[in-house]
Structure 1
């Protein structure tokens, strides 16, 4: 059974109804995504992925924190079925303001454990790249051990030495205990859905608790949010410009590991900006 047939069969089992039509959606680079038209006239989304049950828990946590995300309809070890959000084009003006205001609320919501607030109860993955999420009591320790050092064995030696230097000095660069915000964890433009210019919702989370600036760094790495976004989110803590390069290094490392040497220059350029 191929992946499309497997997901379709599992979605039908979870829904207790056979979809009348299944349409593969563009953008599912790391997992197959299907739009399912049901006999009731409703359209839902079904996807596979590394751990659909964990993704379902992340979506529910984001919703509880005030984020706009698809409603989880059903989930199993092999399939996630969720609401289909309206989508047409990209964010414009007021949509960027809506995203900034929503992220601010999400990042201010309480929910992290007290003793080791940085991390997530489950490990995750971007395709074949593991995402370790074991909780840590301080933020620099989490960033060094869960976001920088796991990539070292996969990097060319010159880059690995520079990343290790940064990991060893991370206490000098990051605040020890920022507010543990619930992060989307993979916040690039493709995971922000818009409808007629307004925010429709966020998809494909890779959640954990950490410095809210991480989501902003990712959003600015592969795009340029409109000025309304900054107005909606509000002022950042002093020194955010220096921290942004450190936070952007993590997705750059993931892209290097997933997609190869074309991202070598991005990683090296960020390390130059950081000064290691």
Structure 2
């Protein structure tokens, strides 16, 4: 989603002592203890649990419009901090849990989260690893392989969903656990967005046709084995970069456990090429009917863009719905 803030390349090096910092607890049973609100909880954490004795510089980082981002230079290394003056800690809790879950797969590189909590004047913050980005573009082949390895390693015994609800862009994303992927995707992804379009724009046409699609899309999944895979959830070009060694880095997630193919829902602005898909499917083989399902996963993000940014995205969403209704004769 184009409104997320990313970690941008700066001149400082990565934190060499990161392994000494406290690890987050296990993904399966992770509960974050939010910091007690102090006058400056970010500074307090960096100068205690962050092992720094001095903050030498705080620099603003551009690139987003939801959160304020800063690079903290210290005598113990660098940290990346995001703050939001109007939204409570639940948004950053979702981000921290998502980053932590991806980090623990030991596959693709993500910024390691350290702490989130409330700000004393309202709003919230999150502290994470600072990654120095390189000048080279990400290697598509390596990106595809690493992403597939994350999907293969990140599994959930609870089914489809996530530990908490989170956001895709600024839109709430409902992650209530379900054992049925078709039901989960129909209700918590497409259905939720269709209801938003009805409530926000009074768009009864897209709501009615979209609901017909939700009720009839089952045959698109015939002969498909669907396992709950850990998804980044919002993988577009602005959330993909490379570190100074050229290794792919993904950030600003909207994580949940879902069908691996749903990860390609933002491919229309992710720039995935042939080498990306070839490497991905070497690790996660393509399943029957993949080409027929691709647009179903694009639809969720087109609907979200319609709800966030207006009518410019409506025609793309409507076209996908109409095509599926003709295909399914619904």
Q: Same fold (TM over 0.5)?
A: yes
Q: Distance in 1 between matches of 2:322 and 2:244?
A: 39
Partner of 2:236: 188
What SS is found at the alignment partner of 1:137? coil
- CA shift, 1:272, in A, is 3.4
Partner of 1:162: 209
Partner of 2:81: 46
* CA shift in 2, pair 1:198/1:275, >3 Å: farther
- CA shift, 1:54, in A, is 2.6
Q: Distance in 2 between matches of 1:112 and 1:253?
A: 27
* CA shift in 2, pair 1:269/1:48, >3 Å: farther
Partner of 1:79: 125
- CA shift, 1:124, in A, is 0.9
Larger Rg: 2
Alignment of 1:1-276 (within 5 A): 9-16=40-47, 19-38=55-74, 40=75, 42-48=77-83, 51-65=91-105, 66-77=107-118, 78-89=124-135, 91-92=137-138, 95-113=139-157, 116-126=158-168, 128-155=170-197, 156-174=203-221, 178-195=226-243, 198-218=246-266, 220-234=267-281, 235-275=285-325
Contact kept, 8 Å, 1:98 with 1:198, in 2: the verdict is no
Q: Structure 2: which 5+ residue stretches go unaligned?
A: 1-36, 85-89, 119-123, 198-202
* CA shift in 2, pair 1:19/1:139, >3 Å: same
Q: Structure 1: which 5+ residue stretches go unaligned?
A: 1-5
- The CA RMSD measured in Å over matched residues stands at 2.4
The structure that is helix-richer by fraction is 1
* CA shift in 2, pair 1:99/1:47, >3 Å: same
- CA shift, 1:110, in A, is 4.7
Q: Encode CA deviations 1:76-127: one digit per residue, 9 max, x unaligned.
A: 24221111112134635xx1111111111111115302xx411112111235
Contact kept, 8 Å, 1:33 with 1:46, in 2: the verdict is yes
Q: Encode CA deviations 1:150-194: one digit per residue, 9 max, x unaligned.
A: 123322111111211111113222357502111011111111112
User: What's the TM-score once normalised by structure 2's chain length?
Assistant: 0.73
What SS is found at the alignment partner of 1:205? coil
- CA shift, 1:128, in A, is 4.2
* CA shift in 2, pair 1:196/1:36, >3 Å: closer
Name the count of aligned residue pairs: 264
Partner of 1:3: none
Q: Encode CA deviations 1:48-81: one digit per residue, 9 max, x unaligned.
A: 3652123212111111222311122322242211
